[in-house]
């Protein structure tokens, strides 16, 4: 086996001390030593930093902590973590919400898609309620989320179903690293901005349909975890952010 992890997963953490399920990470890492977790403490004001260092000690080579002194927001925390992760010489890098709304057991399914479909660069988790799956979302969040996702899909002129799921995996290539090089112009909707960057980049290099590069994977399990920091007013803010994305990338 190589000395390098094959997959790096960035976990943005802001005041997650109470929610973080350390045992779930330890158990997953014991079964999947080729995955390395990069936890980003985003200037938390609780004991997240200590919690993450204790967890990373338990994970050994499968875990590390990056610390941002001042809270920068999820988008910037993910971006810093991803740039670091791209430098680890992995074949795949991604990000995953700390509350494990998407369970870690989905990671191998994401890896499998990138391993078997060479034309795909990106895998997005998609929260689709189907028989035989365990997708539990609060009704209000679900419907607001569907309105947002539909608006995002229209803006991007791309039939993407779920831009906002917090579980995504990228093939580690200069083309995907480039998506994270500049700071995002939005905060809540940076996943949409990533797609807009991909579209703008493909247009520039005369590439094809971005829909051929992304694979949306319907999750087997997803649940709303208590303690979300997203508030109803953020929904309106997210819609305004879409306009900013259009102005910046899609005119
Ligand atoms: N770095 C950073 N991460 C954040 C911030 N707010 C939320 N997050 C992280 O983003 C992820 C999702 O947050 P959550 O509050 O569960 O949002 P929701 O699942 O969209 O309702 C978690 O990993 C959080 O720790 C923030 O201000 N900074
Ligand atoms: Mg959550």
Q: Where are the domains of the chain?
A: 7-249
Q: Which CATH class is domain 7-249?
A: alpha beta
- Note the ligand closest to the C-alpha atom of 191: 1
Q: Which residue from 10, 99, 137, 183 has its CB within 8 A of the most atoms of ligand 1, so it is best to mutate?
A: 99
Look at ligand 1, atom 16, and give the residue with the nearest C-alpha.
228
Q: What is the pLDDT of residue 1?
A: 42
Cα–Cα distance measured from residue 142 to residue 113, given in angstroms and rounded to the nearest whole number: 26
The band of 4, judged by pLDDT with boundaries at 50, 70 and 90, is: low
Q: Closest-lying ligand to the alpha carbon of 98?
A: 1
Residue 222 in tokens: 């997803």
99 touches ligand 1 (CB under 6 Å): yes
| Cβ-count burial 157-195 (b if 16+ within 10 Å, e if not) | ebebbbbbbbbbbbbbeebbbebbeeebbbbbbbbbbbb
Residue 3 pLDDT > 70: no
The DSSP letter of residue 187 is S
pLDDT top residue among 31 and 251: 31
Atom of ligand 1 at shortest range from CA of 230: 21
The structure's pTM equals: 0.96
Q: Distance, CA 12 to ligand 1 centroid (Å)? A: 7
* Cα distance between the two ends of the chain: 47
Identify the H or E element spanning 245: helix 233-249
What average pLDDT does the segment 94-105 reach? 98
Dump pLDDT digits (tens) for 42-72.
999 999 999 999 999 999 999 999 999 999 9
- Per the listing, tokens 């973080």 go with 20
CA gap 77, 42 in Å, rounded: 6
Output b/e per residue, 114-135; b: 16+ Cβ within 10 A. beeeeebbbbbbbbeeeeeeeb
Mean pLDDT of 219-234: 91
Whole-number percent of the chain with pLDDT over 90: 92
Atom 24, ligand 1: which residue's CA is nearest? 13
Q: Taking residues 118-147, what's their average pLDDT?
A: 95
Query: How confident is the model at residue 2, as a pLDDT?
Result: 46
CA distance 8 to 146: 30
Going by the DSSP 8-state scheme, the letter that residue 69 receives in this structure is: S
Instruction: Please tell me the residue having the least CA distance from ligand 1 atom 26.
Output: 73
Largest CA distance in the chain: 48
């Amino acid at each position: 086996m190589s000395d390098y992890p094959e997959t790096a997963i960035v976990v943005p953490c802001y005041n997650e001390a109470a929610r973080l399920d350390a045992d779930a990470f330890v158990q997953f890492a014991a079964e999947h030593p080729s995955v390395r977790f990069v936890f980003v403490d985003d200037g938390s004001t609780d004991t997240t930093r200590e919690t993450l260092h204790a967890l990373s000690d338990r994970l050994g080579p499968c875990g590390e902590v990056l610390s941002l002194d001042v809270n920068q927001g999820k988008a910037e925390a993910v971006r810093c973590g991803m740039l670091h992760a791209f430098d680890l010489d992995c074949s795949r890098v991604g990000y995953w919400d700390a509350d494990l709304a998407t369970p870690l057991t989905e990671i191998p399914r994401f890896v499998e898609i990138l391993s078997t479909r060479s034309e795909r660069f990106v895998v997005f988790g998609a929260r689709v309620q189907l028989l035989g799956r365990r997708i539990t979302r609060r009704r209000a969040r679900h419907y607001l989320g569907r309105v947002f996702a539909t608006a995002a899909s229209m803006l991007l002129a791309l039939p993407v179903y779920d831009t906002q799921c917090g579980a995504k995996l990228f093939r580690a290539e200069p083309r995907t690293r480039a998506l994270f090089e500049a700071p995002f112009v939005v905060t809540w909707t940076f996943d949409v901005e990533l797609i807009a960057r991909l579209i703008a980049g493909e247009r520039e290099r005369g590439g094809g349909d971005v829909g051929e590069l992304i694979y949306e994977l319907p999750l087997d399990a997803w649940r709303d975890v208590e303690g979300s920091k997203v508030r109803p007013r953020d929904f309106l803010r997210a819609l305004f952010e879409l306009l900013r994305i259009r102005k910046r990338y899609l005119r």
